[in-house]
Amino acid sequence: MSRLSLDFQRHRLDNGLKVVLAPDRTVPVVATNLWYGVGSRNEPAGRTGFAHLFEHMMFQGSAHVPKNRHFELIERVGGTLNATTWFDRTNYFETVPSHELELTLWLESDRMGWMLPAMDQAKLDNQRDVVKNEKLQRYDNQPYGDWSERLQRLVYPEDHPYHHTVIGSMADIDAATLDDVASFFRTFYRPNNAVLTIAGDVDPVAALEQVKRYFGDIEPGAPIPPVPGNPELPPLIGETRRDHVVSDVPLPRVIMGFRTPSYASDEFAVAEVARSLLGMGRASRLYRRLVRERRVAKSVVTYVYPLLSGAGLFLVWGTGYPGSDPAVLEEAISEELAALGRAEQHEIDRAIALIETDLVRSLERVAERADLLSMFDLYFDDPGRLNHEVDRLRSVALDRVRSFATDRLGEDNRAVVIYQPEKDR
Amino acid sequence: MSGVDRGAVPSSGTLRSFDFPTVERRKLPSGLDLRVALMNRLPMVSLNLFMRGGEAALGEHRAGLAVLTADALEGGTGKRSGSELAEELERIGARVSADGGWEGTSVALSCLADRLPRAMELLSEMLLEPSFPEEEVTRAREQQLASIRQRAMDPASLASDVALASYYAEGVPYGRPVDGTVVSIGEMSRASMVGYVEANYRPGEGGLVVVGDVEPAEVEQLVTSHLGRWLGAPASRVDFDVKPATRERRVRIVHRPGAVQSEIRVGHVGTARSTPDYYPLSIANMVLGGMFTSRLNLNLREENGFTYGVRSRFTFRSRPGPFQVSTAAGNEVTAPAVREIMHELVRMADEGPTGEEVAAARDYAAGVFGLQLETAGQIAARVSQLVVFGLPDDHFDRYRDAVRSVTTAEAAAAAARHIRPEEVQIVVVGDADVIGDPIRKLEMGTVEILGV
């Protein structure tokens, strides 16, 4: 049934590093991609935002690579690079012309094995300033910029690892020390807590040899400590929790969050289908009803966070028109969520057709392929899941989507953050 | 384990050259310029239709009409409502978008290759028989008005809009926001949109690009059967002179009381896509602020920690688009950030880049080009650039050689000609009570404080 049959092979080095090789020699481009099993959920109390700050420090050089050299070398060969930090993981990636693969292996292995000798206070202070400016630019100086912080506080209990945001707090970022950098590195940045994927124009035999040469002598670390706090939580929030914000925003906005089964659960597929059916594309229920027919929303967004610890997060948000009442918008969204209980099979088919096109389109890029293979290997020990993604969603039965509305999207499992413009008050 | 020498940068392997895909070009009897390229890594196809005209050809009272019309195009056809059209497209997984811009209107489609015939049928229905129902006209207009309000309260968008208005003389289209104003949009009706389509959605100027797992002959047959009856050339002409608002350096602070950070824009009127300096200027700009290891980013971010990131850019259009440095910096470092931006502009204009910097930028530009030939969408977007700017068919075949042949002297001369620190307009959106005095002390020119 599946249109996807992406070729790949798996290996594991003696130090525990997982390796996925996915050759496709049609274009002379190769992607190197590393996922480390550490994210904001692993941050100890008083160090929110540290996993992300640490990600910045990974670009400040290593024993054999001076500051800025990593960027210079990759850009010099016409490559691109970046890294991102999220709740459950941190990823690092380069895409380069394929004859420069070895350069990426050298750079990634040097910081995996020998980052600490290059660390100093000046670099930490500099990147602390950069990260604080990032927080200002992306959150604090933005209309609605604190929405995720507010929503997570309502959806997850205080002792839960998803209670705080990935960017963290200014005070915690200020408190970070070089000792924190060292201990975080030794605890989490170990080969036995990582997946290395190489996708694209690569000879698997030669590449595996190179991987062994560069990464093979990096010492493994102790087993990864359990996630701090209490990841276990009731499946439902138990009530409707609210946060009504009157602030300097241009338009009213209603943001709803719901606990969902974790990404590791079979039921997550139901949430993915429901999310697409509700808000993906212009024939989706929310767009059709709220944006096009009733015009109570200027735009709608739905998303489901693929999270591993205890519960994922199902997100619905609608932005209203100038002067409109957010309570009316909230009521309209609630009606459509309840109406999901009367969904039809053709709506599932439409949603899956869109997901399939988007997936195939994303796989045109070796960087995307590598990223998905790393994720599936790190999270599920199964990179081959990529080839079955569409089938997994297609197997979701209509009655499960319908009951999702009552089981998960009801008033007993709801967090609502409402933004109301100061001027409309 | 291995005896690998970690102290040395690994040497490169053997370069595999890769050519830009072959593009088959045909002029159809209707006047449509059809370009098709085969790419069969995955069973995808991407289509881009460009129709010349656009916002630059519209007078101020009609500003935003091209954007609005494109947005309302999916509102329905003679045969079905907007929701029915969306349903038909999405059930086959097709993604369709229509965007009005400065140069014209672009309609893009992407879908699995075996679904192209059905998608083409629906796309041509949308293009040739749009019905613009009143409720859809209202929706599009209200959405655009709300977006204009959002831009005015978003510090980054506000900074860019004020900056553009500061660079261009009054009446130059590029000085206004591309999606129009509250006044111009408020006046628009169904008749304006129908009239715009009638006059401007024409095959005679522009072109259709199809890239993917398709046979050119089959594409031609599909296009002929669905768009063969579509005829004519657009009525609008781009007709304006680009003049700067002033040659005098000025500072404008848009006061946002309580802002925790400042959005900074520094720039002036740039140059057109047709400039003979295109390659050397692109290289000079990369050194200045067009890559991570640019002078601006290494200075403001990696050296001083003033910002999360900073970039400079020449926006090349048919007529001279803007040249602009953009960044955001914390309140206490806003003035130092402006000072360092000016320092780097002066240094680049006066001294140009070094030989080593030019070599690095050339290698980056030539290498990255090859990285962006992976997807049908990327190739289609590239070929569309040929259409938009009337570039020669072999432009991308020669691109890497052209980049690699830029000399240090050429890059320096281009920088000196096109980067003019004494003429820049400096726009800062932030808390004037906090950042005002430090900025005045920089003595960059008259400082004007604007309310919000």
pLDDT digits (tens, 9 = 90+) for A218-261: 999 999 999 999 999 999 999 999 999 999 999 999 999 999 99
Q: Does B241 touch chain A (CB under 8 A)?
A: no
On the 0-12 / 13-18 / 19+ scale of CB atoms within 10 A, B369 is middle
Query: Is residue A319 in some structural domain?
Result: yes
Is residue A2 in some structural domain? no
CATH number of the domain where residue A277 is located: 3.30.830.10
* pLDDT above 90 as % of chain A: 96
User: Does a structural domain hold residue A254?
Assistant: yes
Give Dmax over CA atoms of chain A in angstroms.
66
> Chain B: nearest CA to A38, how far in angstroms?
23
Model pLDDT for residues A291-303, shown as the tens digit of each residue:
999 999 999 999 9
Regarding whether A171 and A297 lie in a shared domain, the answer is no
Report B:392-421 residues touching A (Cβ under 8 A): none
**Which pair of structure tokens corresponds to residue B423?**
């003429």
Strands B261-269, B425-430: pairing kind: antiparallel
Q: What is the pLDDT of residues B185-242, one digit of tens each?
A: 999 999 999 999 999 999 999 999 999 999 999 999 999 999 999 999 888 777 889 9
Q: Is B374 on the interface with A (CB under 8 A)?
A: yes
Contact between chains at B15 and A96 (C-beta distance less than 8 A): no
Question: Is the ipTM reported for this complex over the cut 0.85?
Answer: yes
Whether A25 and A113 map to the same domain: the answer is yes
Would you call A64 and B136 a contact, using CB atoms and an 8 Å cutoff? Answer: no
B209 Cβ under 8 Å from any chain A Cβ: no
Size of chain B, expressed as the number of residues it contains: 452
Q: Structural domain tally of chain A?
A: 2
Task: Identify each DSSP E strand in A45-170 by its residue range.
Answer: 80-85, 90-97
Residues A141 and A60 in one domain: yes
Query: Is A406 a member of any domain?
Result: yes
| Beta pairing partners, B244 | B168
Q: Where in chain B is the domain with CATH 3.30.830.10?
A: 23-227, 250-450
Rg for chain B, CA atoms, rounded: 24
Could you give the 3-state DSSP secondary structure of residue B128?
Answer: helix
- Choose among A75, A97, A142: nearest Cβ to B292: A75
Report which secondary-structure segment, H or E, holds B316.
Answer: strand B307-316
- Which of A166, A182, A215 is the last residue in one of the domains? A215
Work out the pLDDT band at B16, boundaries 50, 70, 90. Answer: confident
A309 to chain B, closest Cα gap in Å: 30
Is A15 part of a structural domain of the chain?
Answer: yes
**Closest Cα in chain A to B327:** A137
DSSP letter for each residue of A327-363: HHHHHHHHHHHHHGGG--HHHHHHHHHHHHHHHHHHT
More confidently predicted of B406 and B373: B406
CB contact under 8 A, A143 and B154: yes
The mean pLDDT value for A18-22 works out to: 98
Is A71 among the domain residues? yes
Lowest mean pLDDT among A2-11, A413-422, B414-423: A2-11
Bridge partners, A318 (sequence order): A254, A300
Fold of B250-450: Cytochrome Bc1 Complex; Chain A, domain 1 (3.30.830)
To the nearest whole angstrom, how far is the Cα of B333 from the nearest Cα of chain A?
10
pLDDT digits (tens, 9 = 90+) for A110-150: 999 999 999 999 999 999 999 999 999 999 999 999 999 99
Alpha helix segments (H runs only) across B261-394: 278-285, 295-297, 334-351, 355-371, 376-389
* The predicted structure's pLDDT at residue A231: 95
Query: Hey, which residues 133-172 in chain B have their CB within 8 Å of chain A?
Result: 135-136, 138-139, 142-143, 145-147, 149-150, 152-155
- The reply to whether A356 and A391 lie within a common domain is yes
DSSP state of B168: B
User: Taking each helix axis from N to C terminus, what angle separates A101-114 and A204-215, rounded to the nearest 10 degrees?
Assistant: 30
Q: Which residues contact B295 (CB under 8 A, 6 or more apart)?
A: B287, B288, B289, B344, B347, B348, B357
Q: What is the CATH number of domain B23-227?
A: 3.30.830.10
State the pLDDT confidence band at B2, using cuts at 50, 70 and 90.
Answer: low
- Name the residue in chain B with its Cα closest to that of A211: B2
- Across the interface, do A364 and B292 touch by the CB < 8 Å criterion? no
Pick among A115, A139, A282 to test the B interface (most B CBs inside 10 A): A282
Whether residue A234 lies inside any domain: the answer is no
- Do A413 and A237 contact (CB within 8 A), yes or no? yes
Cβ distance A357 to B74 less than 8 Å, yes or no, reads no
On the question of pLDDT at B1 being above 70, the answer is no
Domain that holds residue A33: 9-215
Q: Is B368 on the interface with A (CB under 8 A)?
A: yes
Q: Per the CB < 8 Å rule, is B154 touching A141?
A: no
A160/A13 same-domain check: yes
pLDDT tens for each residue of A170-225: 999 999 999 999 999 999 999 999 999 999 999 999 999 999 999 999 999 999 99
Identify the band that residue A323 occupies on the pLDDT scale cut at 50, 70 and 90. very high
Do residues A156 and A289 both lie within one domain? no
For residue A335, how far is the Cα from the chain centroid? 29
CA distances from residue A78 to A30, A67, B12 in whole angstroms, order as listed: 12, 19, 12
Measured distance CA(B41)–CA(B375) in Å, rounded: 8
Stretch 70-109 of chain A: residues touching chain B, C-beta under 8 Å: 71-73, 75-80, 95-103, 105-106
Nearest to A137 among B14, B92, B261 (CB): B261
Task: Inspect the interface and report whether the beta carbons of B43 and A360 lie closer than 8 Å.
Answer: yes
What lies within 8 Å, CB to CB, of A145 at 6+ separation is: A138, A139
Confidence class for position A2, pLDDT limits 50, 70, 90: low
> Can you state the angle between helices A101-114 and A69-76, rounded to 10 degrees?
170
* pLDDT for A1 beyond 50: no
B302 touches chain A (CB under 8 A): yes
B430 vs B335: CA distance, rounded Å? 11
Are the beta carbons of B375 and A283 separated by less than 8 Å?
no
Residue A388 contacts B, CB cutoff 8 Å: no
Q: Which pLDDT tens digit goes with each residue over B242-299?
A: 999 999 999 999 999 999 999 999 999 999 999 999 999 999 999 999 999 999 999 9
3-class SS at A268? helix
Describe the strand order of the beta sheet including A299-305 as a list of residue ranges: A240-247, A414-421, A253-260, A312-319, A299-305
> Which residues are CB-contacts of A333 (< 8 A; sequence separation ≥ 6)?
A254, A256, A286, A290, A297, A300, A316, A318
Same domain, A200 and A250: no
Q: Is the pTM of this model over 0.90?
A: yes
Which among B286, B345, B346 has a CA at the least distance from the CA of B313?
Answer: B286
Residue A235 per-residue DSSP state: S
- Whether residue A163 sits in one domain with residue A276: no
Least confident of B78-82, B271-275, B369-373: B369-373
Q: Is A101 part of any domain?
A: yes
Backbone angles phi and psi of B446, in degrees to 5:
-60, 140
